[in-house]
Structure 1
Amino acid sequence: MAKKPLILVTNDDGINAPGLRTLIEVLNTIGDIVVVAPDSPQSGMGHAITLDSTLYVERVIVDNEKQEEYSCSGTPADCVKLGIREVLERKPDLCVSGINHGSNSSINVIYSGTMSAAIEAGIEGIPAIGFSLLNYKWNADFSAAKRYVKTISEMVLKHGLPNGIVLNVNIPDISEKNIKGIKICRQAKANWVEEFDKRKNPQGKDYYWLTGKFVNLDNGEDTDEWALENGYVSVVPVQFDLTAHHYIQNLNSWNLNG
């Protein structure tokens, strides 16, 4: 009998998040899973790692004893590092992060703890996927995401991914019957136009809440934003090599060495 694939599962919304519980439900039909997830929400942490305080990992039972689950005091990237180095006895065949409560399309990928966990696995040479649903509510309906989690995870296990590349998958918040399919996309050029809501506390000291709106500056029909707005699941291959290779020749022309 063929050995089931070993899948490391994590997220950034915390070990009790409904999106993670949905992910676990689906991945249990594909392989043997081990969960290492933050003990509290870590959204927007990006690729932060814990350097100045201790880290704790505790075996927990959330739903049942079907899978091993560990609660971690650190960030999503910490969870992957600890999962690989301390929890698992062998390198996992796949790492899956999510299902995030909210979009990680376009520029959001650089702020995302969900995607940073997947990228951390990619750095370790492990095929990895980050899944997100375009609904920020804690009680969001993740049922439409199940089919796409299963299909894409199985395909990555079958075909693998090149070293340094992970998949960023976003799922529109519509019923499954209204999803038109999957589109392979590029990341849209978009950004947050941010403002700070300035207030005073009872002692008269200023404090701030970050606010703003998301602005899509890209009219292309090959982007993740276009796909999501038009009822498709978007899949963007993401690399952690941030080198602007096309600009190296230009920099060489500056004659920086005099």
Structure 2
Amino acid sequence: MSKKPLILVTNDDGITAPGIRTLIEVMTTIGDVVVVAPDSPQSGMGHAITINSTLHVEKVIIDKGLQEEYSCSGTPADCVKLGVKQLLDRRPDLCVSGINHGSNSSINVIYSGTMSAAIEAGVEGIPAIGFSLCDYNWSANFDACKTYIKSIAKNVLDHGLDSGTVLNVNFPNLDKNDIKGIKICRQAKANWEEEFDKRTNPQGRDYYWLTGKFVNLDHGEDTDEWALANGYVSVVPIQFDLTAHQSIQQLNTWRFD
């Protein structure tokens, strides 16, 4: 049996996306790789899972030399669940998700299918990392990410992560020589100022397109948004325990009669 770490690779842009192909390339230099990824784009799906329809999985060959790749009809979280529970012959030592075409910094982590796949692995107790590049272009150049991805993944394999914690890693859209290094950050307080563009189709039925702009409300120099704006790779440890622990004491002073 191989002594190499077993690495589960997934994403939300689909199994043929250039970002995941780059991530697979890097992971094969570290361990044995199994890919379980959506058969079509699943961006913005958050932590959705499939419960009202069946799931289909097909073994595929996209890159020669890679023995196990599975295309899944479900969401990124579905892919991790199926990989861990059905498709892998042993428990993965690491799950990596991405490389996402576009930022998953700040509040974007809530909506991200990329990060939800990593979080699902974390729920299973598997060390996990989500990787994203701040470039939405399908033909984005991921070369600058490779060295950092390998370093971060090897550190997670060597040191592990605290229980309940996964890493959210974002890369600035810069050439390799222009990236200044890695910053360990907190998630910036930011949001989307959203609008709905109302239109009418030829049959007279109204429909809506979601539009908006991202607004950073946080001027701290220890945030992911600051790091990315200043040429650094941002690494944010995130947790899936959503309890607002600081509010428990206050709520216990309320009267509920």
TM-score (norm 2): 0.99
Which amino acid counterpart does residue 242 of structure 2 have in structure 1? L
Provide Cα deviations, 1:107-126, integer angstroms capped at 9, x if missing partner. 00000000000000000000
CA contact (8 A) 1:101 1:135 kept: yes
Map of 1:113 onto structure 2: 113
Map of 2:238 onto structure 1: 238
| Pairing 1:80–2:84 present | no
CA contact (8 A) 1:13 1:41 kept: yes
Identity %: 77
Unaligned runs of 5+ residues in structure 2 are none
Provide Cα deviations, 1:28-58, integer angstroms capped at 9, x if missing partner. 0000000000000000000000000000111
Map of 1:98 onto structure 2: 98
**Pairwise CA RMSD:** 0.9
Aligned residues: 257
Provide Cα deviations, 1:35-94, integer angstroms capped at 9, x if missing partner. 000000000000000000000111000121323100000000000000000100111000
Map of 1:184 onto structure 2: 184
Map of 1:136 onto structure 2: 136
Map of 1:127 onto structure 2: 127
Map of 1:67 onto structure 2: 67
Which amino acid counterpart does residue 57 of structure 2 have in structure 1? V
Map of 1:150 onto structure 2: 150
CA contact (8 A) 1:187 1:223 kept: yes
CA contact (8 A) 1:20 1:99 kept: yes
CA contact (8 A) 1:32 1:67 kept: no
CA shift, 1:163, in A, is: 1.2
Unaligned runs of 5+ residues in structure 1 are none
CA distance change for structure 1 residues 28 and 219 in 2, over 3 Å: closer, same or farther?
same
CA contact (8 A) 1:100 1:133 kept: yes
How far, CA to CA, are the matches of 1:75 and 1:66 in structure 2? 22
TM-score (norm 1): 0.98
CA shift, 1:99, in A, is: 0.1
Map of 1:47 onto structure 2: 47
Map of 2:195 onto structure 1: 195
Matches within 5 A, 1:16-35: 16-35=16-35
**Over 3 Å off, 4+ runs:** none
